Amino acid sequence: MLAHGEIHFNHFPKRRPPQKAQKVEEKPTEEAQNSKAQAEAKMEELIEEAENPLFKLSTIFPFDFFPDQIIIDTNKVNIISKEFFSSGRVHSIMIKDIGDVFIETDPFFAKLTIIDKGFTENSINLKYLKKEDAAKARKIIQGLVVAHEQSIDLAHFPPEELTLKLEKLGKIKTER
């Protein structure tokens, strides 16, 4: 019988803490190590390519108060559109998604149009470019598209040599 204010709890045997599973250290196989090394090398290669663009051009101030910029590297074309001070947007187009590139010229400037297969508006237009820069950008982009279609690995070329070869390749494609 319990006295007033006295509480008894059922006493259960104490539980033992669960035993931790012993870790079995698995040594990575040679194949896994090689695969990891290849992935790391490829990542470093991509980073280096992105840090060293093939060509850059921008629209001309004062005709465009906030000049847009185009940066071309071996994998993509970045279009940086400025709307106002410290504001804008970046549109990246992978080379494999470029359908066509063409320029329209007037007596003073050129307009570069890139047809993006994956973009709902389907084309990107940049006005007020220097004619020579727009023509060079079009040739380089066309050359990149052809090289991508032919599965040519561009990583083995130095950037200056690659730019010249891509321009020639892009020029040949338009002369056909």
The pair phi, psi for residue 84, each rounded to 5°, is -160, 180
CATH class of the domain at 53-175: mainly beta
Closest CA to 112 of 136, 89, 87, 95: 136
Q: Name the pTM for this structure.
A: 0.70
In the predicted model, is pLDDT for residue 80 greater than 70?
yes
In the predicted model, is pLDDT for residue 145 greater than 80?
yes
Count other C-beta atoms under 10 Å from residue 79's C-beta.
19
**Omega before residue 62 within 30° of 0, cis:** yes
Question: Domain map of the chain by residue range?
Answer: 53-175
Those residues whose C-beta lies under 8 Å from the C-beta of residue 59, and which sit 6 or more positions away, are: 67, 68, 69, 126, 127, 128, 129
Those residues whose C-beta lies under 8 Å from the C-beta of residue 25, and which sit 6 or more positions away, are: none
**What average pLDDT score do residues 37-56 get?**
77
Using pLDDT thresholds of 50, 70 and 90, give the confidence band for residue 174.
low
- Supply the pLDDT for residue 41: 77
**What average pLDDT score do residues 28-46 get?**
76
**What average pLDDT score do residues 159-163 get?**
89
Region of 175 on the Ramachandran plot (φ > 0 left; ψ -120 to 50 alpha; else beta): alpha
Which of the pair, 69 or 28, is modelled with greater confidence? Answer: 69
Using pLDDT thresholds of 50, 70 and 90, give the confidence band for residue 30.
confident
- Supply the pLDDT for residue 35: 80
**What average pLDDT score do residues 37-55 get?**
76
Residue 16 in tokens: 């033992």
**What average pLDDT score do residues 69-91 get?**
86
